[in-house]
Structure 1
Amino acid sequence: MKFTMESRLPCAPELMWDRVADTATFRLVSAPLMAFLSLDPGGFPKRWTAGGTYALSMRLFGRLPLGRHEITVLDIDPSARRLSTSERGMLIKSWKHTMQVKTDGSEGTLFRDELVVRSGVATPLIVAGAYFFFVYRHWRMGRLVRDGRLFT
């Protein structure tokens, strides 16, 4: 099952692209709805690395354990401003996620998430949860950009 979500953000695409590969941004735009804790020795790297695999613990509202989650960064393409991952977890058999940053035709940014989930009979439930999470992430990202807190 596949879905795409796009948001227009009032910032330069170069600034937003710089944040996409930053692991602190991943955690910031997910909080406080979801908390991701690194299970890797040394914790999160500063930036995602193509070919890297990262083990995480997911927690709803920072407290309710949702199990282990693994992110493998498949590709980071700076010229296309695109980052693609392959992920899996407790109920998630296959989660292919692509984030892309483009100019919105003016001075802003078009941020796009594309997600393909395959998890058998659990797929509709996982997609519903992912959709809600992505709506939250896009809302939070927009708020952080407008408040000037994403680029500090």
Structure 2
Amino acid sequence: MKFTMESRLPCDPALMWEQVADTGTFRLVSAPLMVFRSRDHGGLPRQWVVGETYALSMWLLGCIPLGGHWITIATIDRSARRFSTAERGALIKGWNHTMQVKSDGRDGALFRDDLVVRSGIMTPLIFAGAYLFFLYRHWRMGKLIRDGRLFVEDERS
């Protein structure tokens, strides 16, 4: 199952791209709904790296364990401000995710998520959860930008 979600954000597209490519932003916009903790020695690097696989623990609301989650960075295209991942986890057999940042033609950014989810018989349930999670991420990203907080946090663990 697949979906696309796009949000107009009140920030410079180049600055937004730098945030999307930052592992701290991933964690910041996911929390507190979903909390991801690195299982790798040394934690996550500051920027995602093509070809690398990152082992994470996934927690609903920071306290309900949902098992391991692995993110492999498939592509990063800086000129198109787009990158894609191939992910899997305890509950997820396949999660192919592409994020892109573009200009909105005015003074803001368009942030786009494309997601394809495969989890066998669990696909409809995982898909529904993913859709709600992405709604939350888009809402949280906009709120953090409007509150001037998106570019502050830099926790790595």
**TM-score category of the 2 structures, normalised to the smaller one:** over 0.9
4+ long deviations beyond 4 Å: none
Residue 151 of structure 1: how far off its partner (Å): 2.3
Query: How many Å separate the matches in 1 of 2:151 and 2:69?
Result: 27
Aligned to 1:22: 22
Aligned to 1:89: 89
Letter in 2 for 1:6: E
Relative to the length of structure 1, the TM-score reads 0.99
Query: How many Å separate the matches in 2 of 1:150 and 1:45?
Result: 18
Q: CA RMSD in A?
A: 0.6
Query: How many Å separate the matches in 1 of 2:151 and 2:26?
Result: 13
Contact conserved, 1:15 with 1:151, CA < 8 A, in 2? no
Residue 92 of structure 1: how far off its partner (Å): 0.7
Aligned to 1:122: 122
2:47 counterpart SS class: coil
Name the count of aligned residue pairs. Answer: 152
Q: Any unmatched runs of 5+ in structure 1?
A: none
1:91 counterpart SS class: coil
What is the aligned-residue identity percentage? 72
Aligned to 2:13: 13
Query: How many Å separate the matches in 1 of 2:52 and 2:40?
Result: 12
Residue 91 of structure 1: how far off its partner (Å): 1.7
Aligned to 1:79: 79
Contact conserved, 1:10 with 1:108, CA < 8 A, in 2? yes
1:41 counterpart SS class: coil
Contact conserved, 1:57 with 1:67, CA < 8 A, in 2? yes
Relative to the length of structure 2, the TM-score reads 0.95
Q: Any unmatched runs of 5+ in structure 2?
A: 153-157
